[in-house]
Structure 1
C-alpha cells in the first residue's frame, strides 16, 4: 500500500480530486436513499465565511499519479461558553470539525484518525481551547472514531427540525405580528439576549452582515392589553419588551451548496410529483406536498432563535411559518436547530421524517489545558438555549 501524505488543500490543483471524494461519500441514509451535497465547485465554500479556516487533503500514489483519498475541514472562532459567573471564562476559542471524508477504497486504515489529529494540531496552534464536531447519533463509525479513538465526549443533543416548502402558504398565528429588523438593531438584540448562550459567536456582526444572511425577524404576540406593537428600535424594545416574543434570522444555504436525495424509486418520485401537482392546482386544499428533493435543491436555515414570555412558542411558530412562506420559489425546505430542552421547539412546524430529533455534538479539551477554577466546559450540563452558527451548517 502506497504511503498517504496529508497536506493543506491547494485550490489550483486539488479541486477535482476533493469533489470526487465528496461525491463518493453521500451522507444521511434514509430508507435506502442517501443525501448528496454539492458544494457548487468550491470545496472550501462551507468554511470560507468563518474568521479562520483550514482544509486538509490526504494524497497517495494511484495508477494514474497522485490522487486524493481523504479530506477534512475545520474552523476556529471565539464563542460564549454559557458560563456567566463573575470572573469565569465566559468566552473560549473553539475549533469546529466538519466535512471529514475518506474514500471507500482507503477506509479502515487509520486515515480518518490522522486527518483529525492533524486538524487538532492546527486548532492548538491557532489558540483553540476546545474542539467539537456534530454528527448523526446513528453514525456509529463516526462516533467510534471521535469518542473512542480521539477522546471526545458526547456533549449536546440539539434537534434539527425541517419543514418542506409547499405551493400553499402555512398559516401564521393571527395573534402574531412579524417585523423585519435592521442589521444594527438585530446585532444589539442578539448581544443583549445571547451574551452567555453556548456557542454565541463573538463576531455576530459579521454573521448578520454576511451576503448569505437573508435578514432578522421578530414576532410579537398580541396579549390583548396593548394591541400589536410597532417596531420602534432595539433600545425601546430592551427597555420595555412585549409580554411574549421570539427572534430569529435566516441564512441562504443555497449560496454555498445544493442537496440532492438519491436512490429513490420511480414510484416514490411519481407519488411526490403528484402531491406537488395537486398542491399547485388546488392550493386551498393545503396538500402536504413533497418538493422535488430528487434533483439538486437549496435550503434555508433559521438561526439565532430566542424568545421570552408565556406565548413565546407561538411567536416562534409564527416566525418559522413566515420563513417557509418566504421561501416559496426560492428554496425547497427550511430548517432550524434548537437545544433539546428549548421550550420554543414545542410549536415549530416540521416533518418528522425530514428532521433529526437528536443530533449529537461531541467535544473535548485540547492540549491538556486546565482552567484555574477546575471548570471544564466539555463536561458541563446543557442550558436551555444554544446558538447554531449558520456558517457551520
Structure 2
C-alpha cells in the first residue's frame, strides 16, 4: 500500500483519549495465534510510561477533512547502566562502600508502538518511530531501544530493516498463573521485607553494574506501585539491617521486588473456545473446593485481569534459585489476596542464574523476547564503554518495572 498523509504530534489527553484507547484495543500485544492477548490501559493512554522521569506519547493523525487517529507510540528517557568501570580501591562512596563503579548512559525506550490494523504498511509506524527518536535526541539520549516478540515479523522488519536497530538481547518473560490455593513454597525460607531505603542500599551495592540498572532506582522503589522488596534467606539467619547483612551475607540469598501493574493496565486473552473456557472454569472450581489438593487451576484470563511484575531478581549462593522460588511463592500469595490479579510475571536475561527458580507456564510465557538497540549519538560522555550496541550480553539484566 502507498503511504498516506499523516501528522505526527504530541498526544493531548482531552482531545485524543478515546481515539487513542480505541487504537490500543484493536491491537494485539502478544504472540499471534488462535488466542490473542489484548491490553486495556487504565486512566489515560500514556499511563504506562508516566512513572518515568521523562516521557512522551505521540499520535499519528490523518490529514484531511475527516481526521482520524490511526497510530500511537510511547517513549521515555532515563539514565541506565551500560557497563562497569575497572575496580579501584577506595573509589566507592561511604554510603555504598565496595559498590561497583557503573558506567551510565542516557537511553530512550520505545514502548507501545501501535498502528491500526486498517492502516498498516503505509509508513505510519516509521513516522512515529522517527518522531520519537527526534525527541530522544532533544533529551540527550545516546541510545534508543525497544522490545518486541521475536516472531512479530512486521515489528522486527520495521526496526532492524528500516530504522537501523540491531538485535541486542533476548530475555525471557516468565508468566505464572495465580491459583485459588496458597503456594506453600514460601515456608521453606525466611522472607524479610526491606524498607525502600534498605532496598536502595541493597540494589546499589549488588546490582548497580547490571545492564539497564536505572540510576533513579530510589524513585522506582518509592513509587506507590512498588509493593515491596523481599529478601529470602535460609531459616535461622539473623537480620540486623541491610548494612550488616551486606558486610557478612549468608552463603545463599535471593531478592526481588513486586510491582503492581494492575493499577496501570489489564490484559485479556481473546479467541479461546468454549471447551478451553470450560476446562479453565472447572479447574478453578475444583481448586476452590479442595485447596489442599493444590490443583494447578487456570485463572479467568478471558476477561480483563491484572498482573504483578517481579523485578530486581537476583541472588548468590548454591541455594539462590531455591530461595528465589520461595520469593516467587510469596509474591503469588500476595497476588492471590488482591482480587483481579490473574498472573505473576518476571522478565530476566536468557542466561540468568536464578531462572530455574522462577516458576512459569510455558503456554503463557515468552521464552525469547527480543530487545533491539540503536546508537543515536556520535560522541559519548564516557569513552570507556565504546559502542554499547556491540557489547556481548552479561548473565543478568535489570528490567525496569515502569516499562513492562
TM interval, shorter chain, is: over 0.9
Q: Structure 1's 89 and 320: CA in aligned 2 closer, same or farther, altered over 3 A?
A: closer
Task: Name whichever of 340-349 and 240-249 sits farther off.
Answer: 340-349
* Contact map agreement 1:254 1:298 (CA 8 A) in 2: yes
Alignment of 1:227-238 (within 5 A): 228-238=236-246
Partner of 2:195: 182
Q: Structure 1's 124 and 180: CA in aligned 2 closer, same or farther, altered over 3 A?
A: same
Partner of 1:301: 309
The answer to whether structure 1 residue 218 and structure 2 residue 218 are counterparts is no
**Partner SS, residue 215 of structure 2:** coil
Partner of 2:259: 251
Partner of 2:222: 209
For residue 46 of structure 2, the aligned residue among 35, 44, 48 is 44
* Contact map agreement 1:15 1:41 (CA 8 A) in 2: no
For residues 193-252 of structure 1, the C-alpha deviation after alignment (integer angstroms, 9 at most, x for no partner) is 112111111111110000100000000024xxxxx1132111101111111000100000
Q: Structure 1's 244 and 50: CA in aligned 2 closer, same or farther, altered over 3 A?
A: same
Partner of 2:96: none
* Contact map agreement 2:189 2:234 (CA 8 A) in 1: yes
Aligned length: 387
Partner of 2:94: none
Partner of 1:9: 11
For residue 100 of structure 1, the aligned residue among 96, 109, 113 is 113
* Contact map agreement 2:228 2:258 (CA 8 A) in 1: yes
Structure 1 residue runs of 5 or longer lacking an equivalent are 223-227
TM-score scaled by length of structure 2: 0.92
Structure 2 residue runs of 5 or longer lacking an equivalent are 89-100
The answer to whether structure 1 residue 391 and structure 2 residue 399 are counterparts is no
Give 1:61 deviation, angstroms: 4.0
**Partner SS, residue 235 of structure 1:** helix
The answer to whether structure 1 residue 362 and structure 2 residue 372 are counterparts is yes
Which runs of 4 or more aligned residues in structure 1 lie more than 4 Å from their structure 2 counterparts after TM superposition?
86-89
Partner of 1:80: 81
Partner of 2:71: 70
Q: Hey, what's the Cα distance between the residues in 1 that align with 2:270 and 2:379? A: 44
**Partner SS, residue 327 of structure 1:** helix
Partner of 1:55: 57
Partner of 1:336: 346
Q: Hey, what's the Cα distance between the residues in 1 that align with 2:276 and 2:255? A: 37
* Contact map agreement 2:102 2:209 (CA 8 A) in 1: no
Q: Structure 1's 243 and 56: CA in aligned 2 closer, same or farther, altered over 3 A?
A: same
Partner of 1:225: none
Q: Hey, what's the Cα distance between the residues in 2 that align with 1:208 and 1:89? A: 19
Q: Structure 1's 319 and 20: CA in aligned 2 closer, same or farther, altered over 3 A?
A: same
Q: Hey, what's the Cα distance between the residues in 2 that align with 1:7 and 1:59? A: 8
**Partner SS, residue 191 of structure 2:** strand
Task: Name whichever of 26-35 and 331-340 sits farther off.
Answer: 26-35
* Contact map agreement 1:279 1:287 (CA 8 A) in 2: yes
* Contact map agreement 2:103 2:385 (CA 8 A) in 1: no
For residues 316-344 of structure 1, the C-alpha deviation after alignment (integer angstroms, 9 at most, x for no partner) is 11101111112114211101111111110
**Partner SS, residue 213 of structure 2:** coil
Q: Hey, what's the Cα distance between the residues in 1 that align with 2:203 and 2:189? A: 21
Q: Hey, what's the Cα distance between the residues in 2 that align with 1:374 and 1:235? A: 30
Q: Structure 1's 7 and 108: CA in aligned 2 closer, same or farther, altered over 3 A?
A: same
Partner of 2:97: none
